[in-house]
Amino acid sequence: MKINGTPYRSVWVNEKDGWSIHIFDQTRLPFSLDILRLTTQQEVAHAISTMQVRGAPLIGAVAAYGLALALRQDASDAAMEQNAAMLAATRPTAVNLRWAIERMLNSLRPVAPENRVAAAYAEAGRICDEDAAQNEAIGRHGLELIREIAKNRPAGTQINLLTHCNAGWIATVDWGTALAPIYMAHDEGLNVHVWVDETRPRNQGAALTAWELGSHGVPHTVIADNAGGHLMQHGQVDLVIVGTDRVTRTGDVANKIGTYLKALAAQDNKVPFWVALPSTTIDWSVANGVTEIPIEERTASEITHVAGRGEDGKQTRVQITPDGSPAANPAFDVTPARLVTGLITERGVCPATEDGLRSLFPEQ
Ligand code: MRU
Quick: pLDDT tens for 65-86: 999 999 999 999 999 999 999 9
Assess whether pLDDT exceeds 90 at residue 323. Answer: yes
State the pTM of this model. Answer: 0.97
- Distance of CA 110 from the midpoint of ligand 1 (Å): 33
pLDDT band per the 50, 70, 90 thresholds, residue 4: confident
Active-site choice (174, 225, 245, 283): 245
CA-proximal residue: ligand 1, atom 10 (nearest) = 243
54: Cβ below 6 Å to ligand 1? yes
Q: Which CATH number fits domain 154-360: 3.90.25.10, 3.30.1490.20, 3.40.980.10, 3.40.50.10470?
A: 3.40.50.10470
Mean pLDDT, the chain, integer = 97
Mean pLDDT, residues 145-159 taken together: 97
The whole-angstrom separation of Cα 251 and Cα 226 is: 25
Question: Domain 2-129: what homologous superfamily?
Answer: translation initiation factor eif-2b, domain 1 (1.20.120.420)
- Each domain of the chain, given as residue ranges in start order, spans 2-129, 154-360
Residue 267, marked binder:
no
Determine contact, residues 219/69, Cβ cutoff 8 Å: no
Instruction: Please indicate whether residue 41, judged by its CB atom, sits closer than 6 Å to ligand 1.
Output: no
- Whether 2-129 and 154-360 share one fold: the answer is no
Whether residue 244 has its Cβ less than 6 Å from ligand 1: yes
Distance 35 CA to ligand 1 centre (A): 20
Our answer on whether the CB atom of 201 is closer than 6 Å to any ligand 1 atom is no
Active site residue 252: no
Q: Say yes or no to pLDDT of 256 above 90.
A: yes
Ligand 1: residue whose CA is nearest its atom 8: 256
Could you tell which of 256, 274, 295, 298 is best to mutate to test the pocket of ligand 1, judged by most ligand atoms within 8 Å of the CB?
Answer: 256
Average pLDDT over residues 308-316: 96
pLDDT tens column, 281-310: 999 999 999 999 999 999 999 999 999 999
Average pLDDT over residues 99-118: 98
